[in-house]
Amino acid sequence: MTFQEIQQKAKAEWDALYHGQIPHILIGTATCGRAGGALPVVEAFHKEMARQGAKANISQVGCVGLCSFEPLVTIVKPDSFTVCYNNVTPQIVPTLVEGYVLGDDPCLDLALGTVEGGEGEAVRIPELMRFEHEVRLILRNCGYINPEDINHYVASGGYASLANALIMKPEAIISEIKASGLRGRGGAGFPTGRKWEQCRQAPGQPKYVICNADEGDPGAFMDRVILESDPHQVIEGMAIAAYALGSGNGFIYIRTEYPLAIARLDIALKQAKKQGFLGKGILGSGFSFDIEIAQGAGAFVSGESTALMYAIEGKRSMPRPRPPHSVEAGLWGKPTVLNNVKTFAYVPLILQRGAEWFASIGTESSKGTAVFALAGKTVQTGLTEVPMGITLNELIYKIGGGMRNNKQFKAVQIGGPSGGCLPAELLLTPVDFDSLREAGAVMGSGGVIAMDENNCMVDAARFFLDFIQKESCGKCSTCRIGTWHMLDILTEITTGKGKLEDIDFLVELGEDIKDGSLCGLGKTAANPVFTTIRYFRDEYMAHIVEKRCPALVCKELIAYYILREKCERACEHCVLTCPVKAIASDEKGIKVIDQTKCTKCGSCELVCPKEYNAVTRLSPSSRVPGAGTKKPE
């Protein structure tokens, strides 16, 4: 079957679903949707449609990026507008079926909004202003097509770029990627076209193509969502790269903790091979290429390119010295190109729409878009795809909706655990490779964690360094021992035992780790410390000199009190919850905390009813004689 015949068949199926005479119900069943209860919602729709004897197409789709609104259900109805419903439960399914699937009531009181756009376009929800600031390229199909049906991808233009690439010269493809200005989205930002060119020119066969889907950054889930929602664009991008390089073998290295992404990727690979997009003689050409899934055990260092290749080879994940670089001697010592999930996903679009189109998006040195996972204390969390050069302010406030509970924005951690913490005064910083590096952070793979006034920046640096220290492979002594010492010093500071000279020593240690480490993990390990000292030195001084935590986070530097005038005498929540029985009632029934017993777990503060808000945290300087029996001044 020719590609044109495959495409024609796929479009016929697509038109029957989206432009047919019966409603089409799309239910997001990516990991975030499943965590919110999407699978029972799917079951409820099937049962209700059967009970009503009604007809509708029900498709399980991926994640549109509105993770905090899951489960999401979109109803596409013939000759009417499309409606998206959020936080859907099985209990409201009969209402939706009765009201809009079978009737004319769109149940707007249950809706997130109406959906504009259509075939092959991004899902647009006007009620959420964040979409006006997005440019969806590699997220365009996420939440709109069935990732387990290859015909959906083909009907939306998929594999057309591969078909066209097979009649091009490999050098022409590489030139197009170079002209587009595409840089690697795994974090380093190395020019993709230059990497491909170096690998093609390197002597030696076979050559390998590897997709890095390890994604070990805490709070990052961009690659997972893409593979769960639209895996074929990554497969197509890898196949195009393989043709350009002269490679016949590819690997997708993915962490075992992504079971749904692995399952959907496996289905996609089998379907692609069956349709002739992988395997021998792809689309009747003389080009053959296969992809194998390699599952990782979850080590953060495996995201580093050379450590990842060792893992595929069955060896311990540890970085190796360079040169030689992977494009000359990578997997099993052969020329290898390794790119991130997002990097490969851009490739079909670049060939389809042209290098000039892609280069017109973004900044002079950072072309195209960037996909971020918004986490932390923003109103809206989830995925977003924005043009390079958007400011941190737009990212946090216009897309993230600002800070929850009207709290004051304090900092944003961008670039993963070894990224940097940037303060409010840098909110106008453009989000691109070079601007972030100048500010002391990195683009990373796309994790963004927003922090507010209740976050302690010294504790934040300690938290991120704790992760880095535990994930160090141990090969470089500067990283293995240096991060341990830095973590020890930060722990001393957060427990009130720090010394003034610790600040300069942390910077000195960080520079030594940066200079003496082989891989990017070690070279960026100290970034959270560098940036918090650079932008939040006053908090370090408060911890060291005044022995207090301004944000009232560090346990050794705070105490819990119960305010007498706010305590409700009949309420026993804190007494019943305290694990060490440090809370009792005085002669008037007011609850008091025995500071000699209190372990500062914070459970009393969590259970105190909001209408009372009687539990408060104070620094040691606010303590009074007889603490636990008297209220603070």
Number of H helices, E strands in the chain: 24, 18
CA distance 87 to 99: 17
Task: Give the residue-averaged pLDDT of 35-59.
Answer: 94
Alpha carbon 488 to its chain centroid, in Å, reads: 29
Q: What is the mean pLDDT of the chain?
A: 91
pLDDT digits 0-9 by tens, 352-399: 999 999 999 999 999 999 999 999 999 988 999 999 999 999 999 999
pLDDT band at residue 133 using 50, 70 and 90 as cut-offs = confident
| Between residues 483 and 187, the one the model is more confident about | 483
Task: Please determine, for residue 456, whether its predicted confidence score (pLDDT) is greater than 70.
Answer: yes
Beta bridge partners of 630: 627
Task: Please determine, for residue 4, whether its predicted confidence score (pLDDT) is greater than 50.
Answer: yes
End-to-end CA distance of the chain: 82
Task: Please determine, for residue 119, whether its predicted confidence score (pLDDT) is greater than 60.
Answer: no
CATH of 16-123, one of 1.10.10.10, 3.30.450.40, 3.40.30.10, 1.10.490.10: 3.40.30.10
Q: Report pLDDT for 116.
A: 54
Question: What are the residues whose beta carbons fall under 8 Å from the beta carbon of 292, sequence distance 6 or more?
Answer: 249, 250, 251, 252
Q: Any alpha helices (H) in 495-552, and if so which ranges?
A: 501-516, 520-523, 527-535, 537-544
| Between residues 13 and 195, the one the model is more confident about | 195
Question: What are the residues whose beta carbons fall under 8 Å from the beta carbon of 161, sequence distance 6 or more?
Answer: 236, 240, 347, 348, 349, 351, 352
pLDDT band at residue 92 using 50, 70 and 90 as cut-offs = very high
Q: Report pLDDT for 128.
A: 59
Q: Report pLDDT for 281.
A: 95
Q: Report pLDDT for 625.
A: 38
Task: Please determine, for residue 78, whether its predicted confidence score (pLDDT) is greater than 90.
Answer: no
pLDDT band at residue 473 using 50, 70 and 90 as cut-offs = confident
CATH of 369-452, one of 3.10.20.600, 3.30.1330.60, 3.30.70.1560, 3.10.200.10: 3.10.20.600
Task: Give the residue-averaged pLDDT of 113-137.
Answer: 62
Instruction: Report the amino acid identity of residue 368.
Output: G
pLDDT digits 0-9 by tens, 296-341: 987 888 888 999 999 999 999 889 888 899 999 999 999 999 999 9
Task: Give the residue-averaged pLDDT of 99-120.
Answer: 77
Task: Give the residue-averaged pLDDT of 419-432.
Answer: 93
pLDDT band at residue 181 using 50, 70 and 90 as cut-offs = very high
Task: Please determine, for residue 631, whether its predicted confidence score (pLDDT) is greater than 60.
Answer: no
Strands 290-296 and 249-255: parallel
- Domain definitions of the chain by residue range: 16-123, 158-357, 369-452, 457-544, 559-622
| Between residues 26 and 108, the one the model is more confident about | 26
Q: Report pLDDT for 622.
A: 62
CB 529 within 8 Å of CB 503 = no
Tell me which fold the domain 559-622 belongs to.
Alpha-Beta Plaits (3.30.70)
CA distance 168 to 360: 23
Q: Report pLDDT for 526.
A: 93
pLDDT digits 0-9 by tens, 542-571: 999 999 999 999 999 999 999 988 998 788
CATH architecture of the domain with range 158-357:
3-Layer(aba) Sandwich (3.40)
CB 502 within 8 Å of CB 493 = yes
CB 370 within 8 Å of CB 384 = no
Question: What are the residues whose beta carbons fall under 8 Å from the beta carbon of 275, sequence distance 6 or more?
Answer: 6, 150, 154, 159
Q: What percent of the chain has pLDDT over 90?
A: 74
Q: Report pLDDT for 126.
A: 42
| Between residues 504 and 1, the one the model is more confident about | 504
Instruction: Report the amino acid identity of residue 166.
Output: L
Task: Give the residue-averaged pLDDT of 429-456.
Answer: 90
Q: Report pLDDT for 570.
A: 80
Task: Please determine, for residue 346, whether its predicted confidence score (pLDDT) is greater than 80.
Answer: yes
CATH of 457-544, one of 1.20.1440.230, 3.30.360.10, 3.10.20.30, 2.60.120.380: 1.20.1440.230
Q: Report pLDDT for 115.
A: 67
Among 287-291, 376-380, 462-466, 587-591, the minimum mean pLDDT is found in: 587-591
Alpha carbon 410 to its chain centroid, in Å, reads: 21
